[in-house]
């Protein structure tokens, strides 16, 4: 009897876990409904680093598709062309497969209708004096209940010629055998792998089984990538294994003999928060809040800042943590002009599909980026795509702010069309206007929009000031301020 009760308890627990996991988590739990709770284990990974090249970032909405692509810009044009070809190729293939073919239907869609996402992130390494390695991580999110598609793309380049080097020309005889032996030994002896590796791993990890042909090189060794479900349960995600060069002596052509020194990260002084200039706001006069998402993107954001500065007004910038790190000077200028800088997440993921751990990790990374760059953490958050379901609301420790007027600037890319949306709104008092700080056309529209609003008698305020002066309250962490609030 006792035993039966236990069985029922376990069954109930398993079902409950399976159900909770489905909606909110990424599809790991859906694919493994019978697995008991998985403690958050971080697979051993080499430090994620973008050691070379300037970070380029491209966010593009083409509802129902959205692209969030980061890639390095190198000093060698030959290499850049190959990187761009690769990025455009990925985009093209994604659109080909998933875009809505009906033009009329496509025109009707807004940013909130984005439901297929292509993400690209990267690591870039110095391998040796004349070789670099770029590893791209592609993720396709195709829906709430579909497992994301994840792929690793590896490029090695000769920095003198700009030519791509293929892995086949780097490895020597005996490399596959040595890599296989090391990997089997590592995974069968170390946590958290040794009890999780799938049954017939010796066959899967045999030298000729195709797992060791592709690899990335950095200054320390050779990195192999094992896809989710390849040799471990999906809960471990993709597993990266670095084999130090010393374990593969004489098995590589022209690399790994002596690793070049890795540039030490400079010690930085703690950042002093930037003081906000004094401004006077009349709570009885009409006010409107301009907001710019997805930046900073220096050229366009600076042009917007020029327009704000010219008229002595402010806006709110919802910046991405990854770009705050890349372009600190632009963010500092936003603050110096008295603008509010909020978080738009670290890398623009669709939060409605993230797990609790993934949300927490994104929040932490963004806080760090802000703290290390401008000395303060963000207090307001605009969810990417405006996607903010109850689960997200519960787990974001910031005030969440969406908008009440969507200029559709990302779609029209036309200053006149943007102004037309604004003029058609009627009374704008208390409203929050959504724009994007990464398009030339949005910057151009701002130059017209600011004097227009001032002429109409509006004060330009930040979103926090709007809450304070229009509603007499401070924005509160964990609450969503959306369309109905900013009316």
The 3-state DSSP class for residue 486 equals: coil
- Shortest CB 175 distance to Zn ion, Å: 44
Beta bridge partners of residue 300, listed in sequence order: none
Does position 362 interact with Zn ion (CB under 5 A)? The reply is: no
351-379: buried (b, 16+ CB within 10 Å) or exposed (e) per residue? bbbbbeeebeebbebbbebbeebbeeebb
- Shortest CB 409 distance to Zn ion, Å: 12
- Shortest CB 459 distance to Zn ion, Å: 26
Among 123, 293, 325, 406, binds Zn ion (CB under 5 A): 293
The rounded distance, in Å, linking the Cα atoms of 177 and 9 is 48
Smallest Cα–Cα separation from 485: which of 471, 465, 469, 468? Answer: 471
Nearer of residues 159 and 291 to Zn ion, judged by Cβ? 291
The rounded distance, in Å, linking the Cα atoms of 312 and 338 is 9
The dihedrals phi and psi of 290, each to the nearest 5 degrees, come to: -90, 135
Q: Are 295 and 435 in contact (CB under 8 A)?
A: no
Applying CB under 5 A, the span of 26-34, 143-151, 272-280, 378-386 interacting with Zn ion comes to 378-386
Neighbours of 10 (CB within 10 A): 11
Q: Are 291 and 318 in contact (CB under 8 A)?
A: yes
How long a stretch of residues is the chain?
A: 487
- Shortest CB 339 distance to Zn ion, Å: 17
Touching Zn ion, residues 146-185 (CB under 5 A): none
The dihedrals phi and psi of 440, each to the nearest 5 degrees, come to: -60, -40
Nearer of residues 156 and 344 to Zn ion, judged by Cβ? 344
Q: Are 66 and 119 in contact (CB under 8 A)?
A: no
- Shortest CB 345 distance to Zn ion, Å: 8
- Shortest CB 68 distance to Zn ion, Å: 9
The 3-state DSSP class for residue 123 equals: strand
- Shortest CB 293 distance to Zn ion, Å: 4
Nearer of residues 342 and 384 to Zn ion, judged by Cβ? 384
Among 121, 141, 240, 294, binds Zn ion (CB under 5 A): 294
Q: Residue 60 half-sphere exposure, CB side, CA atoms within 13 Å?
A: 14
Touching Zn ion, residues 217-276 (CB under 5 A): none
Applying CB under 5 A, the span of 101-109, 291-299, 304-312, 406-414 interacting with Zn ion comes to 291-299
Applying CB under 5 A, the span of 173-181, 356-364, 376-384, 469-477 interacting with Zn ion comes to 376-384
Nearer of residues 183 and 301 to Zn ion, judged by Cβ? 301
- Residues near 204 by beta carbon (within 8 Å), at least 6 away in sequence: 198, 211, 230, 231
Touching Zn ion, residues 36-95 (CB under 5 A): none
- Shortest CB 306 distance to Zn ion, Å: 22
Nearer of residues 32 and 113 to Zn ion, judged by Cβ? 113
Nearer of residues 333 and 436 to Zn ion, judged by Cβ? 436
For the chain, state the CA radius of gyration. 25
Binding site residues, Zn ion, CB under 5 A = 293-294, 384
């Amino acid at each position: 009897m006792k035993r039966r009760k236990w069985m029922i308890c376990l069954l109930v627990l398993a079902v409950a876990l399976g159900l909770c996991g489905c909606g909110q988590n990424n599809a790991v739990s859906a694919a493994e409904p019978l697995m008991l709770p998985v403690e958050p284990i971080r697979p051993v990974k080499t430090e994620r680093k973008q050691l070379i090249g300037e970070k380029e970032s491209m966010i593009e909405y083409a509802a129902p598709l959205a692209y969030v692509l980061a890639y390095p810009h190198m000093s060698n044009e030959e290499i850049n062309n190959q990187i761009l070809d690769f990025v455009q190729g990925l985009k093209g293939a994604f659109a080909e497969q998933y875009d809505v073919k009906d033009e009329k239907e496509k025109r009707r869609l807004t940013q909130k209708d984005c439901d297929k996402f292509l993400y690209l992130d990267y690591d870039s390494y110095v391998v040796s004096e004349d070789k670099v390695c770029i590893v791209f991580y592609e993720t396709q999110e195709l829906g709430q209940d579909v497992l994301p598609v994840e792929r690793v793309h590896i490029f090695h380049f000769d920095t003198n010629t700009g030519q791509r080097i293929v892995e086949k020309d780097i490895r020597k005889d005996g490399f596959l055998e040595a890599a296989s032996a090391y990997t089997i030994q590592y995974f069968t002896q170390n946590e958290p792998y040794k009890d999780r590796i799938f049954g017939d791993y010796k066959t899967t990890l045999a030298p000729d089984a195709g797992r060791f042909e592709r690899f990335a090189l950095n200054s320390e060794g050779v990195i192999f990538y094992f896809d989710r479900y390849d040799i471990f349960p999906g809960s471990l995600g993709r597993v990266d294994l670095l084999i130090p060069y010393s374990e593969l002596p004489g098995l590589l052509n022209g690399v790994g003999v002596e690793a070049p020194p890795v540039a030490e990260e400079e010690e930085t002084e703690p950042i002093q928060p930037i003081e906000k200039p004094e401004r006077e706001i009349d709570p009885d006069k009409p006010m409107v809040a301009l907001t710019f998402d997805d930046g900073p993107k220096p050229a366009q954001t600076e042009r917007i800042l020029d327009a704000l500065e010219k008229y002595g007004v402010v806006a709110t910038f919802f910046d991405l943590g990854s770009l705050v790190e890349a372009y600190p000077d632009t963010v500092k200028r936003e603050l110096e002009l008295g603008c509010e800088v909020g978080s738009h997440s670290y890398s623009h993921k669709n939060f409605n599909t993230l797990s609790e751990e993934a949300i927490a990790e994104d929040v932490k990374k963004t806080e760090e980026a802000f703290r290390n760059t401008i000395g303060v953490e963000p207090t307001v958050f605009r969810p990417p795509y405006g996607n903010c379901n109850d689960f997200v609301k519960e787990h974001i420790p910031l005030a969440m702010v969406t908008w009440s007027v969507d200029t559709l600037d990302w779609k029209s890319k036309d200053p006149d069309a943007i102004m037309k949306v604004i003029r058609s709104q009627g009374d704008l008092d208390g409203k929050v206007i959504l724009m994007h700080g990464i398009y030339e056309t949005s910057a151009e529209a701002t130059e017209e929009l600011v004097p227009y609003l001032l002429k109409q008698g509006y004060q330009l305020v930040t979103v926090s000031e709007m809450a304070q002066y229009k509603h007499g309250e401070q924005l509160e962490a964990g609450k969503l301020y959306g369309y109905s609030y900013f009316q």
